[in-house]
Amino acid sequence: MIRFWAIVSLLTFHADAFVIPHHTPRVLQTSVAQSSTEAVIVPKQGGRGVATASQDAARRNLSLGAPPVRPMGGEYTSQGGVQITATVEPLPYATTTTTTTTTTTTTTTNVNDEINSMTVMEELMDQLDEKKGVLLMSSYEFPGRYARWSLGFVDPPLEISGRGADCHIRSLNERGDVLMPAVQEALQQMKRDGLLSAIEVVEEAPLNGSGKAIAKTIQAKVVPPPEVGSFSEEDRSRQPSLFSIVRALVDLFAYKGDCRQLGFYGAFGYDLTFQFEPIDLKQQRDDDQRDLVLYLPDKIVVVDQDKRDSWTVSYDFSVNGKSTRGLPRTTEAIPFAPFDETKTPNFTPRDTPVSEFAASVEKAKREFAVGNLFEAVLSQTFREKLGAETPPSKLFRRLRARNPAPYGFLINLGEQEYLVGASPEMFVRCEATEDNDYRPGAIRVETCPISGTVARGADALEDAQRVKSLMMNAKEESELTMCTDVDRNDKSRICEPGSVQVIGRRQIEMYSRLIHTVDHVEGYLRPEFDALDAFLCHTWAVTVTGAPKTWAIQFVEDNERSPRHWYGGAVGMVGFDGGLNTGLTLRTVRVKNGVAEVRAGATLLYDSNPVAEELETELKASAMIDAIVQDGPEDSAEAAAQAKVAKLDRQRPGQGKSVILVDHEDSFVHTLGNYLRQTGATVRTLRSGASALSTMESLIAKGQKPDMVVLSPGPGNPSDFGLSNTIEFLVKHRIPAFGVCLGLQGMVEHFGGSLGVLGYPMHGKPSPVSLTYPGKEARSIFTGLPDTFEVARYHSLHGIRERLPSCLEVTALSDDGIVMGIKHKTLPFAAVQFHPESILTSPAHGMAILQNALAYLRYSDEDTPKRSGAEIVAAFEGMDVSRLQQRCSAAGISQTGSKSELVVRMTLFTHKSEELAAGRLQLENLTEEELIELKQGLGLRESASGKDGLVRLLKNCLNFEV
């Protein structure tokens, strides 16, 4: 019985497929194979799933990294006994500024000359060129993950820096001096606890040259950590290190209150990982390298773009009866120093010669083969010189405009070192939550491993195709799987059992040039651990090191060509409220002594392609390098205005032309009209029928004959709309025509061809089409398009290729041989059997087709009047040799010889091109000797054999518009 009904079902399907509408007597039947994806069965029912990260974040009122609502301020006593006064002042929220750039500085003022959030932020960027401080700017949103916010400061009173076991805490002004006794006491307690081996207080030069105060630095040395294996791995983050000092100082200033912006801000270098993992160092480090630079600010500007609110919060501190109240907040200003050849004589543009990175990938593959590594992340550095006209603030402005990211930052580290970045990846974020399954106030730790990368497309359609390829790529999926498994392992060391969860899997994040797949992982810390433990147990992320992590870190050290410095580390803040928010130091420009360094890496697996991985690092670095070397409208308001004018001034092929769009009751006719208007043409849409023809007749009588008529798609058959009458009218009045879908079918029938019905209707289906030889000719409607591209199909009827009349040529075909484009051999008529205005056809391709139709579909006697030879010669005589050579090169003709020879050559080219376009030159009627003589006169570089080859060569040349 089952077999019987299966046979009946098959017969029913085939019977339906071959029903021919009663009103299509001239239509024959053909079939198109159904896409294999149509066979995929997706169940309509399934599990309930879980709340999305976005829903969960809203339910638990998570901050998504943004500052909480504007605080009230107040008086607080820290855990270490420091008295803290927070004063909050509202700042008018604004989103627009007017920017003026000079050769050395950039000043920004609001259009109303008011102080507001944007003017303050812009001024802060300029100040960071010469003053220590931090600007963090999150300009990327993702539901449940990232919100948009900005926070920054300059003139911090206190600085913490360190390398290896040596740490320096330095007061940067008189306000910092007030804090030093409390800092010193905290460090003395560490020494008593056996964590520090030495403490020394050093007085330095007078601050700001004033002679009023002496800057103080406390130098501390951390004791060596105990031998590996002598302590529990769960307690590794509690072993003596620079972070022991950071933790002690966080505890000193820790307090409970609604003002949660106070904390340490700055950068964490890659080499900090060596404090926890015994690695054999191979790279030579610079003597002045620092692994940690953190600032304690005392005045912070906060902008919450989500809530459209902004404020400043100022802090005063009291220690042992002394207060910072009334003391100046300024610190020493040291201007940015551009590149100096005398100080850097051995400048090299990259640390890894071309192809050597690929060789290192091969070495990694051998490690994968024997099981020493599962994955590894190798990187290389690219360098550019910076002049005085390109300070770090300008780089940041460019990155902010060109590469919005959740972790944008501009940090002046002092000592002529800056970090300018647009990182896409969270490192570790911690936040205390009341609503959780463990205990009130438990700290939630989250990370977002990124692995899986593809370049952005030209538009949303191409993006979609690339996302599809990325999601289907098994190698990219394996990369992210391993990263997330290692990340879960890192959290499991210190998190509550069962709390480590993947709350987002292979989610798509799009940036200016790249598309990534991203996982989102959370856990809840056990009571005995804090945010710094969470930070340290992830140091460093597997996405910048590899797995197994220790072996991968050693492999990186052995095979990269230079130290990583800050790359692969982190930037952000350690809050005194117990929270933490850090981003990985990726997509970052490190500026040191006027040299801009960009480091980029690739995640390697056994099935990595060495050349492709090297290219990936170059692609990742490209956005940063672009910000270094390429000026842009974001540099100044004047440049932005000029760019806008240039865009408006671009010549459009429809400019000054009128188009009648004949509507055949189609669902997309007005989108088609919108596209036509974008060419610059004036478009009038008329519903098809006798009235439309009468309206056009009236326009012609008034001397307003349209430059083109576009025949729209539509349901039914061409005969339902009397399309043959419309086409006859257009031929009679010598009006060029372009047809879409039904318009193509109408042309086929009118000129004597036959239509067929597809076995499977193509309604809203993507399909690749390929150009035929006529479709690739110069002045085709497909000029400038690739030989094969994807289009949107909405049709059942089609022109049968074998029954096309001789006057029509096929210009495009689907992959199964269906006619997708035609043109008339002698009339300016062309058509396509797909929708150029659909989202499934790239807008760039769709617009190009319509622009070409308006540019090239015309009667020959409507071309520009013939110019005299003297006029052509005069035009070229006015050009210099360089420009003449450029014109010759663009036309594909010889650019050698004297100026007079170039003028003669371009004059001949122009004259013959105009003759050919006007129909006055028939190359086919010339003898082979005459064709050779013309080729030699033009100085064509390409070769051709036989008369047919010479005709094609000359046509392609002379049809080129220079």
Which of residues 829, 846, 863 is at a domain's end?
863
Q: What is the CATH number of the domain that holds 260?
A: 3.60.120.10
Q: Are residues 795 and 735 in the same domain?
A: yes
224-233, 510-519, 868-877: which has the minimum mean pLDDT?
A: 868-877
% of the chain surpassing 70 pLDDT: 88
Q: Does 875 have pLDDT greater than 90?
A: no
Q: Does 761 have pLDDT greater than 50?
A: yes
Task: Report the candidate in 105, 64, 93 with the shortest Cα–Cα distance to residue 397.
Answer: 105
Rounded-to-integer distance, Cα 906 and Cα 913, Å: 10
Tokens 């604004």, residue? 94
In a domain, 58, yes or no: no
φ, ψ (nearest 5 deg) of residue 831: -155, 160
Q: What's the pLDDT at 51?
A: 78
The tally of CA atoms less than 13 A away on the side-chain side of residue 799 is 36
- In the predicted model, what is the mean pLDDT of residues 303-325? 95
Rounded-to-integer distance, Cα 107 and Cα 99, Å: 6
Task: Report the candidate in 436, 573, 437, 458 with the shortest Cα–Cα distance to residue 513.
Answer: 458
The count of other CB atoms within 10 Å of the CB of residue 707 is 18
DSSP 862: G
Q: Does 385 have pLDDT greater than 50?
A: yes
Q: Are residues 495 and 596 in the same domain?
A: no
pLDDT digits (tens, 9 = 90+) for 461-495: 889 989 999 999 998 999 899 999 999 999 999 99
Q: What's the pLDDT at 819?
A: 97
Q: Does 284 have pLDDT greater than 70?
A: yes
pLDDT digits (tens, 9 = 90+) for 738-750: 999 999 999 999 9
% of the chain surpassing 90 pLDDT: 66
Q: What's the pLDDT at 868?
A: 58
CB 472, CB 466: distance < 8 Å? no
Report for 107-116, 440-449, 910-919, 935-944: range of highest mean pLDDT? 440-449
Write the DSSP string, 734-755: T--EEEETHHHHHHHHHTT--E
Q: Does 863 have pLDDT greater than 80?
A: no
Q: What's the pLDDT at 36?
A: 46
Rounded-to-integer distance, Cα 589 and Cα 626, Å: 11
**What residues pair up with 87 in beta bridges, in sequence order?**
314
Task: Report the candidate in 84, 5, 381, 129 with the shortest Cα–Cα distance to residue 260.
Answer: 84
> Pairing mode, if any, of strands 829-832 and 737-740?
parallel
When pLDDT is cut at 50, 70 and 90, the band that residue 3 belongs to is very low
Q: Does 675 have pLDDT greater than 70?
A: yes
Rounded-to-integer distance, Cα 159 and Cα 131, Å: 13
Q: What is the CATH number of the domain that holds 805?
A: 3.40.50.880
Rounded-to-integer distance, Cα 341 and Cα 358, Å: 31
Q: What's the pLDDT at 869?
A: 62
In a domain, 594, yes or no: yes
Q: Are residues 801 and 701 in the same domain?
A: yes
Q: What's the pLDDT at 310?
A: 95
Of 483, 495, 741, 888, catalytic: 741
Which of residues 863, 886, 906 is at a domain's end?
863
- Long-range Cβ contacts of 74-80 (<8 Å, 24+ apart): 74/257, 74/258, 74/259, 76/255, 76/256, 76/257, 76/259, 77/255, 78/252, 78/253, 78/254, 78/255, 78/576, 79/251, 79/252, 79/253, 79/254, 79/255, 80/182, 80/186, 80/251, 80/252, 80/253, 80/254
When pLDDT is cut at 50, 70 and 90, the band that residue 704 belongs to is very high
Q: Are residues 272 and 403 in the same domain?
A: yes
When pLDDT is cut at 50, 70 and 90, the band that residue 937 belongs to is confident
When pLDDT is cut at 50, 70 and 90, the band that residue 871 belongs to is low
Task: Report the candidate in 839, 795, 833, 837 with the shortest Cα–Cα distance to residue 813.
Answer: 833
pLDDT digits (tens, 9 = 90+) for 211-233: 554 568 999 999 999 988 889 98
When pLDDT is cut at 50, 70 and 90, the band that residue 2 belongs to is very low
Q: What's the pLDDT at 867?
A: 53
Q: What's the pLDDT at 35?
A: 46
- In the predicted model, what is the mean pLDDT of residues 4-27? 39
pLDDT digits (tens, 9 = 90+) for 783-812: 889 899 999 999 999 999 999 999 999 999
Q: What's the pLDDT at 24?
A: 42
Tokens (6 digits) for 640: 């932005």
In the chain, the amino acid numbered 99 is: T
Q: What's the pLDDT at 557?
A: 97
Q: Are residues 202 and 309 in the same domain?
A: yes
Tokens 């802090």, residue? 315
Task: Report the candidate in 86, 112, 84, 85 with the shortest Cα–Cα distance to residue 98.
Answer: 112
Which of residues 498, 516, 540 is at a domain's end?
540
Which carries the bigger pLDDT value, residue 895 or residue 325? 325
Q: What's the pLDDT at 304?
A: 93
Residues whose CB falls within 8 Å of the CB of residue 735, separated by 6 or more in sequence, listed in order: 696, 705, 706, 707, 708, 709
Helix (H, G, I), strand (E, B) or coil at 314: strand
Q: Does 637 have pLDDT greater than 80?
A: no
Which carries the bigger pLDDT value, residue 260 or residue 380? 380
Q: Are residues 345 and 444 in the same domain?
A: no
In a domain, 53, yes or no: no
Report for 411-425, 764-778, 893-907: range of highest mean pLDDT? 411-425
Q: Are residues 244 and 303 in the same domain?
A: yes
In a domain, 471, yes or no: yes
pLDDT digits (tens, 9 = 90+) for 50-74: 778 888 888 888 889 888 889 999 9
When pLDDT is cut at 50, 70 and 90, the band that residue 941 belongs to is low
Rounded-to-integer distance, Cα 298 and Cα 315, Å: 5
Tokens (6 digits) for 610: 């060495």
Of 123, 174, 837, 914, catalytic: 837
Q: Are residues 593 and 498 in the same domain?
A: no
In a domain, 70, yes or no: no
Q: Are residues 546 and 510 in the same domain?
A: no
When pLDDT is cut at 50, 70 and 90, the band that residue 40 belongs to is low
Q: Are residues 920 and 853 in the same domain?
A: no
Q: Does 828 have pLDDT greater than 80?
A: yes
Domain count, the chain: 4
The dihedral built from the CA positions of residue 604, 609, 611 and 613, taken in this order, carries a sign that is negative
| Annotation says 835 is catalytic | yes
Q: Does 962 have pLDDT greater than 50?
A: no
Q: What is the span of the domain harbouring residue 674? A: 651-863
In a domain, 45, yes or no: no
The dihedral built from the CA positions of residue 344, 349, 355 and 357, taken in this order, carries a sign that is positive
| CA 249 to mean position of chain CA atoms | 39
Q: What's the pLDDT at 208?
A: 52
When pLDDT is cut at 50, 70 and 90, the band that residue 324 belongs to is very high
Rounded-to-integer distance, Cα 153 and Cα 297, Å: 7
In a domain, 31, yes or no: no
- In the predicted model, what is the mean pLDDT of residues 407-423? 97
Of 750, 835, 845, 911, catalytic: 835
Average pLDDT, the chain: 87
In a domain, 92, yes or no: no
Q: What's the pLDDT at 636?
A: 59
Q: Are residues 548 and 520 in the same domain?
A: no
Q: Are residues 461 and 555 in the same domain?
A: no
When pLDDT is cut at 50, 70 and 90, the band that residue 98 belongs to is very low
